[in-house]
Amino acid sequence: MSDAAGTSYPTRWKKPPFIKNSLLRWSIIVGSAVYLAAAIGTMDVNWTRAWEGLPRGVDMMTKFFPPNFADTRGVIFDGILESIWMAIIATIGGIILSIPIGLGAARNLSPRWVYLLCRFIVAASRTFPEIILAIFAVKFFGFGPFAGFIALSIGTIGFFAKLLAEDIENMNKSQAEAVRATGSSWFQWINYAVQPQVMPRMIGLAMYRLDINFRESAVVGIIGAGGIGAHLLTSVQRYEYDTTSAILLVIIVIVMTLEYTSSYLRKWVQ
Amino acid sequence: MPMIEKADGPVWKRRKSATQWLIWFGWLIALSIAAYAWKLISDKTIWMFVVDAPRQMMDAATRMVPPKWSYIDELWGPIWETINIATIGSIIAMIIAIPVAFAAAHNTTPHKLVRAFALLIIVATRSINSLVWALLLVVIVGPGAFAGTLAIGIRSIGGCAKLLYEGIEEINHNQVEAIRATGASPAQEMIYGILPQVMPTFAGVAVFRWDVNIRGSTILGIVGAGGIGVQLNSSINTIAWTQVSMILLVILVTVILSEWVSAKVRHAII
């Protein structure tokens, strides 16, 4: 054996680690282990209660099948329709409100103070989950779908205005400049230079948001903001799990339909 | 772009008149839907409350300031619990979502039937809001953070697995083939060919989902599944507005911090 240079190269290849800095890697590993131990240690799990609940879970599962669509009180159909209409009108209302805010929140369109104001509105409406917005809407506007409409519209602003603004900021500048060079007014400029560039993506996003709004509108009823959620809660509290499963199935089918429609529509407009 | 020949020369129009009519017709339908949805919602609204809402809001706003700062002492526990629900829920979700995603991706699925089953899991867990999962799980395992963690975990399976399998489907097959050409077993192919390519996506998805789940876990308390939502719900019910504003502030800070952390981590990975 003549190891001429006297250095020994590793003869086996080792997979390079995901995080290269070994100090960082080990501190992340140790840190997560400590955190997990603390988190699981402090989580107050009542194992006897959970164990007693298992038969109840099995009972719930068996009662899920077959789902009972009989709908004796005539509430499923009504509630689902209410959820759908709430989602539609909240999407439309939210988008109408989002357009000026989105234009304002685009750095290349608006003066600095408008930009900051609109960004603040977007950030504020994005922070809180729709359910928290709905709790307050119910407090202020009374029970019923109007509260859900308000909550979902505000939620839509945070989503739609943000993406609209980002899309406008990424638009092709030369087209905008070409329209501006024709001596167009501000509104003509927005309508002929900006709108055609962002429209296809916005239609897709509107469909996507409708999808999200329907999912949310199906649960805001739990806190009294209208839609199918109230009946879902009632059916669980009355142990009518066959009705629960029927409602859940209807929700799943509608969500799937919306999702396929929206992805199809997005492919079609782009 | 059609030209219409007129007596005084050709006139340029953006669209053929048939297309134009079709577009107008589409707008008409959209407007009718909006009007009908609005009518249904407004029929179920007690307008007296809505008219009164601005006064109510001003009233609540004045009662909310200043927030009851000392209440933070009672909130540390719930915040810790909220974060733990989100984190452990996300970990549970990722552990289940990874095999589901490999089964659902075109290029790694063992069989078509397995793929269909995996897609079914993804759709069913995704379509149902975590609040509904929490509602059902509270019945089974009893109220508390454990139910919330499981709810977040189940809801996130679909959300994670969908993004994961889309990531898996986008991998570069040359690398996998190169590994196979060395005579690697299918398991080695997975470890050395596929995993290194999808690891960044996986980490990104996990952090993204964790961020979403922080928001989600703030509301689970409404149905008794632990976290800061318990305090929020009871404070609203007892009209303790100064506590409500303190809780909202805490949620705001938590959400902003989690968004900042997830943005930093994703930036570091990708």
ipTM: 0.81
Domain residue spans of chain B:
1-42, 71-269
- Residues B172-221: pLDDT tens digits? 888 888 988 998 888 888 888 888 888 888 888 898 899 989 988 998 98
C-alpha radius of gyration, chain B, whole number = 26
Distance of CA A80 to CAs A86, A143, A228, A253, B135, Å? Answer: 10, 17, 5, 12, 19
C-alpha radius of gyration, chain A, whole number = 27
pLDDT of residue A9: 76
Q: Is the pLDDT of residue A3 over 80?
A: no
pLDDT of residue B88: 92
- Residues A117-131: pLDDT tens digits? 999 888 888 888 888
Q: At what angle do helices B130-141 and A47-64 cross, to 10 degrees?
A: 120
CA atoms of B26 and B78, how far apart (whole Å):
50
Q: Which residues pair with B3 in a beta bridge?
A: B12
Nearest to B219 by CA among B237, B232, B209: B232
Closest by Cβ to B127, choosing from A45, A136, A255: A255
pLDDT of residue B1: 61
Q: Is the pLDDT of residue B247 over 50?
A: yes
Q: What is the DSSP letter of B65?
A: P
Q: Is the pLDDT of residue A1 over 50?
A: no
In this prediction, residues B32-44 reach a mean pLDDT of 84
pLDDT interval class at A5 (50, 70, 90): low
Structural contact between residues B156 and B91, judged by C-beta atoms closer than 8 angstroms: no
Nearest to B156 by CA among B223, B222, B91, B221: B91
Q: Is B135 on the interface with A (CB under 8 A)?
A: yes
Q: Is the pLDDT of residue A223 over 50?
A: yes
Task: Give B-chain residues touching A82 at CB under 8 angstroms.
Answer: 40, 44
In this prediction, residues A177-199 reach a mean pLDDT of 87
Tokens 């400590």: give the residue.
Answer: A34
- Residues A79-101: pLDDT tens digits? 888 899 899 999 999 999 999 99
Q: Is the pLDDT of residue A162 over 60?
A: yes
pLDDT of residue A94: 93
pLDDT of residue B14: 72
CA atoms of B260 and B268, how far apart (whole Å):
12
Question: Are A53 and B141 in contact (CB < 8 Å)?
Answer: yes
Question: Are A131 and B219 in contact (CB < 8 Å)?
Answer: yes
Q: Nearest CA of chain B to the CA of A7: how many Å?
A: 28
Q: Is the pLDDT of residue B19 over 70?
A: yes
Q: Is the pLDDT of residue B139 over 80?
A: yes
pLDDT of residue A73: 62
Chain A residue at shortest CA distance from B30? A92
pLDDT of residue A41: 80
Question: Are A54 and B140 in contact (CB < 8 Å)?
Answer: yes
Kindly report the average pLDDT of chain A as a whole number. Answer: 84
Q: Is the pLDDT of residue B42 over 60?
A: yes
Residue of B46, B141, B243, B253 to mutate for A, most A C-beta atoms under 10 A = B141
Q: What percent of chain A has pLDDT over 90?
A: 12
User: What phi and psi, each to the nearest 5 degrees, are found at residue B108?
Assistant: -120, -5
Closest by Cβ to A222, choosing from B128, B140, B222: B222
Q: Is B141 on the interface with A (CB under 8 A)?
A: yes
**DSSP annotation string for chain A:** ---TT------S--PPPSS--HHHHHHHHHHHHHHHHHHHHHS---HHHHHHHHHHHHHHHHHHSS-----TTS-HHHHHHHHHHHHHHHHHHHHHHHHHHHHHT-TTTS-HHHHHHHHHHHHHHHHS-HHHHHHHHHHHH-SSHHHHHHHHHHHHHHHHHHHHHHHHHTS-HHHHHHHHHTT--HHHHIIIIIHHHHHHHHHHHHHHHHHHHHHHHTTGGGGTSSSTHHHHHHHHHTT-HHHHHHHHHHHHHHHHHHHHHHHHHHHHH-
pLDDT of residue A194: 87
Fold exhibited by the domain B71-269:
MetI-like fold (1.10.3720)
pLDDT of residue A71: 65
Closest by Cβ to B88, choosing from A39, A89, A146: A39
DSSP strand pairing (B9-12 vs B3-6): antiparallel
Kindly report the average pLDDT of chain B as a whole number. Answer: 86
- A125 Cβ contact partners less than 8 Å away, ≥ 6 residues apart: A133, A154, A155, A157, A158
pLDDT interval class at A108 (50, 70, 90): confident
Q: Which CATH number fits domain A76-269: 1.10.8.100, 2.40.340.10, 3.30.1490.20, 1.10.3720.10?
A: 1.10.3720.10
pLDDT of residue A2: 47
Largest Cα–Cα separation, chain A: 91
Q: Is the pLDDT of residue A260 over 60?
A: yes
Structural contact between residues A108 and A169, judged by C-beta atoms closer than 8 angstroms: yes
Question: Are B46 and A144 in contact (CB < 8 Å)?
Answer: yes
Q: Is the pLDDT of residue B79 over 60?
A: yes
Task: Give B-chain residues touching A45 at CB under 8 angstroms.
Answer: 144-146
Residue of B41, B149, B248 to mutate for A, most A C-beta atoms under 10 A = B41
Query: pTM to 2 decimals?
Result: 0.82
Nearest to B254 by CA among B219, B203, B205, B206: B219
Structural contact between residues B91 and B80, judged by C-beta atoms closer than 8 angstroms: no
Q: Is B22 on the interface with A (CB under 8 A)?
A: no
pLDDT of residue A6: 56
In this prediction, residues A12-38 reach a mean pLDDT of 81
Q: Is the pLDDT of residue A153 over 90?
A: yes
What does the H/E/C string look like for B12-31?
ECCCCHHHHHHHHHHHHHHH
CA atoms of A231 and A218, how far apart (whole Å):
10
Tokens 């190891």: give the residue.
Answer: A3
Expressed in angstroms, the distance from the first to the final Cα of chain B is 43
